[in-house]
Amino acid sequence: MKLFQPGTPGSSAMSYAGLIEKIEILRTTLRWASRLERPEIEKLLRQSNTLRDEILQLSHKERFVKAAAAEVEPTEKLPGQRRQALLERSFVFEGTFGDNPELLDALEVAEKAAPTDLPVLIDGESGTGKELMAKVIHANGSRADKPYISVNCGAIPDNLLESELFGHKKGAFTGAANDRKGKFESAHKGTIFLDEIGELPLPGQVKLLRVLESHEIQRVGSDEPIVVDARIVAATNKNLRRLSEEGTFREDLFYRLSVIHVSLPPLRERKDEIPLLFSYFCDEAAEMLKRRPVKMSPALRAFLLSYSYPGNIRELRNLIYRLSCLAGETADTVHLPVDIRPKNQTAATTVNESTAIPDATPASLSDARRIASDEAEKAFLEKGLKEVGGTVAELARRCDMNRSHLQMLLKKHGIHSKDFRRQAVQPDGNGDTPIQRR
Ligand SMILES: Nc1ncnc2c1ncn2[C@@H]1O[C@H](COP(=O)(O)OP(=O)(O)OP(=O)(O)O)[C@@H](O)[C@H]1O
Ligand SMILES: [Mg+2]
């Protein structure tokens, strides 16, 4: 197969032509075969699998070249446009929501790193989406249809670590009743996600370094080297650079792992994401709990916008699930866990919705602005949907917006287009509607 040569005019067409030729050979073989025996079927299957892999590789490569060619300075684009540009390049988000510039920086780095085999180190506080980011990198790379194996380095006892990662031979230690392959072998051709890498003890770090250098492993109790081709993505909520300066993490391993370094900001530094995230999790929780998405009282909304979320997005998600489970139609601050509930809420009021406190003053001027702009955006979308009878595509066309971006905004506000289906405003005499005339 001729490889796709970035920047060479017509090279992509050449590679596609080569693939089409191979497909034609396969088709001809099938066309003239009067009867196929099992071995021939197996052979044809193998050939089609190779072809499929080559096509996938080509399309990933092409996507990478496109991404690399998008040399626009991130700051020149608005967050919505950056997300939109990623969408247009068929970026797989794996459910990662948000338009925060730092998150978009991280996604754009992931986009460029994904098709390569370079190691990636993701850091960020607990619950900021490190594992999700690792899945994004896997899903956007050429290994997307190969295994993704996740290992929590902090959860494996020291004496089992080597066997867990590299496997063992029967009889290698007491209890090793059979040969067993480790996580690295299971991740062959795919991606291995080494979570909590900062917890890996020093002997494990030495072995990992060896794998990174030689691409070989040895099962415990065996001298035989086994070649492994696993792309490494590691994550930590620790400052590995500091740990390596202190001597608890090997400096050479730190540099090896962090060829590409992605940092995820804590939620308190991207509060602009909160409305979008909570409407997303409200829908998710509603689906799981088989209920309508819970509504938020203004006091609860103000609290959720100003709270500091030490557990980051995971904490926000868990809070929304709790609220969706405990509240009736509208959740209020009384449904929050006691330890974070604002002081003036007592246990006696916990599940009585009629006692929900009225509107609270936002914590700061920027919160007040955010709430006001949120409300204006919501009102605009509801009015628009009413005018187009709930047809999202039509509203997107009229507002000259991308449909998926519009859908994301609707989700953010918990607006369901189907609720507007029967409310369509009839066009007036000249067939025009208010939105068209704006
Ligand atoms: N940007 C995002 N959009 C939507 N959901 C997110 C986002 N970031 C994180 N999540 C969700 O938040 C939860 C926590 O994310 P994840 O497990 O990836 O965090 P983590 O950084 O690996 O946490 P820990 O350090 O505790 O292991 C998951 O349910 C994940 O799907
Ligand atoms: Mg994690």
Q: What is the CATH number of the domain that holds 122?
A: 3.40.50.300
Query: Within this chain, do residues 318 and 225 fall inside the same structural domain, yes or no?
Result: no
178 or 50, greater pLDDT? 178
Query: Within this chain, do residues 178 and 324 fall inside the same structural domain, yes or no?
Result: no
* Residue 1 domain flag: no
Query: Within this chain, do residues 395 and 433 fall inside the same structural domain, yes or no?
Result: yes
At 419 the pLDDT is 82
Residue 140 CB partners (closer than 8 Å, separation 6+): 60, 63, 91, 92, 110, 111, 114, 115
- Of 241, 265, 289, the one marking the end of a domain is 265
Query: Within this chain, do residues 179 and 144 fall inside the same structural domain, yes or no?
Result: yes
| Nearby residues for ligand 2 (ion, Cβ within 5 Å) | 131
Query: Within this chain, do residues 175 and 221 fall inside the same structural domain, yes or no?
Result: yes
Task: With cut-offs at 50, 70 and 90, classify the pLDDT of residue 71.
Answer: low
Alpha-carbon distances of 405 from 98, 150, 257, 277, 409, rounded to whole Å: 11, 31, 35, 14, 6
Query: Within this chain, do residues 243 and 106 fall inside the same structural domain, yes or no?
Result: yes
How far is it, in rounded angstroms, from Cα 133 to Cα 97? 11
Contact 94, 141 (CB under 8 A): no
Query: Within this chain, do residues 120 and 243 fall inside the same structural domain, yes or no?
Result: yes
Instruction: For ligand 1, pick from 130, 314, 315, 321 the residue to mutate: most ligand atoms within 8 Å of CB.
Output: 314
Instruction: Reply yes or no on whether the pLDDT at 429 is more than 60.
Output: no
How far is it, in rounded angstroms, from Cα 133 to Cα 148? 13
Residue nearest to atom 18 of ligand 1 (CA): 129
| Nearest alpha carbon to residue 125 among 241, 269, 309, 266 | 266
Q: Which helix (H) or strand (E) holds 384?
A: helix 365-387
Please tell me the number of Cα atoms within 13 Å of 14 on its side-chain side: 11
How many independent structural domains does the chain possess? Answer: 4
Instruction: For ligand 1, pick from 99, 128, 133, 270 the residue to mutate: most ligand atoms within 8 Å of CB.
Output: 128
Q: Looking at residues 238-260, what average pLDDT do you find?
A: 93
How many CB atoms lie under 10 A from the CB of residue 117? 14
Task: With cut-offs at 50, 70 and 90, classify the pLDDT of residue 361.
Answer: low
At 427 the pLDDT is 43
Instruction: For ligand 1, pick from 313, 319, 408, 412 the residue to mutate: most ligand atoms within 8 Å of CB.
Output: 313
- The residue type at 205: Q
Q: Phi and psi for 260 in degrees, rounded to 5?
A: -115, 130
Instruction: Reply yes or no on whether the pLDDT at 205 is more than 50.
Output: yes
Q: What is the CA(141)–ligand 1 centre distance, in A? A: 20
* Residue 4 domain flag: no
Instruction: Reply yes or no on whether the pLDDT at 408 is more than 70.
Output: yes
Query: Within this chain, do residues 354 and 310 fall inside the same structural domain, yes or no?
Result: yes
Query: Within this chain, do residues 227 and 283 fall inside the same structural domain, yes or no?
Result: no
Strand bridging mode 295-296 / 225-227 = unpaired
Query: Within this chain, do residues 167 and 291 fall inside the same structural domain, yes or no?
Result: no
* Residue 134 domain flag: yes
Instruction: Reply yes or no on whether the pLDDT at 172 is more than 80.
Output: yes
187-199 pLDDT, tens digit per residue, is 999 999 999 999 9
Q: What is the CA(371)–ligand 1 centre distance, in A? A: 25
2 or 155, greater pLDDT? 155
* Residue 59 domain flag: yes
Q: Looking at residues 155-166, what average pLDDT do you find?
A: 89
How far is it, in rounded angstroms, from Cα 386 to Cα 367? 28
Question: Which domain covers residue 275, as residue numbers?
Answer: 270-363
